[in-house]
């Protein structure tokens, strides 16, 4: 069963264990949000196209780990500028592409980096300061009925790797899709 969208105390961030458990336990299904039918996992936990994960790790060694795991296949490496590069990987079981960048762009942080809300600005600044790379999750162009459920599998797989290896990370868009200003649902895993 999904946790209520407002079930976390004010001022707290959602604990990673709670979030991952909720992703695993969230039933499949659709709900109406206004006039739009949306996946329940997207509405409750923000899992949707262009979903970023911000990570405090070395870009090249992380991409190597993904490829060596056998779960991710390198499709392409690209140099955006002398300092910025990225690569595209496919999740081998299917339908999800990962765009891994060697930097964090403000647009991928809470508030998209241009919010005037002071709490969102603090989250964005913290995310930019504490992370080195961005992983952007995308379903393939061919939509499937379970694309967000498969994205959740990738989120869980990556989070498990980060926690096992004591790597700090953040899910800046883990707020639900209805109450996007519910910043208590932002997930941080911080290693001292």
In a domain, 5, yes or no: no
- Per the structure, the count of domains in the chain is 1
**Residues 102/78, Cβ–Cβ less than 8 Å:** no
Query: How much is the pLDDT for 15?
Result: 87
Q: Does the residue 144 lie in any domain?
A: yes
3 state DSSP class of 143? coil
In this structure, is residue 3 part of a structural domain? no
In a domain, 165, yes or no: yes
* Mean pLDDT estimate for the chain: 86
- Averaged pLDDT, 39-61: 92
Any domain includes 158: yes
Q: Which residue has the higher pLDDT, 40 or 146?
A: 40
* pLDDT at residue number 2: 37
Residue range of the domain that includes 95? 16-24+35-189
User: Token digits for 84?
Assistant: 């910025």
The pTM score is 0.88
Domain membership flag for residue 75 = yes
pLDDT at residue 76 tops 70: yes
Per-residue pLDDT band for 130 (boundaries 50, 70, 90) equals very high
pLDDT at 132 over 70: yes
Domain membership flag for residue 51? yes
Please state the rounded mean pLDDT for residues 1-15: 43
Is residue 29 one of the residues assigned to a domain? no
């Amino acid at each position: 069963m999904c946790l209520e969208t407002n079930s976390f105390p004010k001022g707290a961030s959602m604990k990673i264990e709670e979030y991952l458990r909720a992703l695993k336990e969230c039933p499949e299904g659709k709900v109406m949000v206004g006039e739009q039918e949306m996946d329940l996992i997207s509405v409750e936990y923000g899992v949707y196209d262009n979903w970023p994960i911000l990570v405090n790790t070395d870009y090249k060694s992380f991409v190597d780990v993904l490829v060596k795991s056998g779960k991710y296949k390198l499709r392409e490496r690209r140099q955006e500028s002398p300092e910025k590069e990225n690569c595209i990987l496919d999740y081998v079981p299917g339908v999800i592409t990962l765009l891994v960048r060697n930097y964090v762009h403000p647009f991928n942080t809470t508030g998209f980096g241009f919010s005037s809300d002071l709490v969102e600005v603090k989250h964005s600044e913290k995310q930019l300061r504490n992370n080195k790379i961005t992983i952007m999750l995308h379903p393939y162009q061919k939509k499937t009925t379970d694309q967000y459920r498969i994205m959740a599998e990738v989120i869980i797989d990556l989070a498990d790797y980060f926690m096992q290896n004591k790597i700090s990370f953040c899910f800046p868009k883990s707020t639900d899709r209805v109450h996007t200003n519910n910043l208590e649902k932002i997930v941080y895993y911080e290693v001292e």
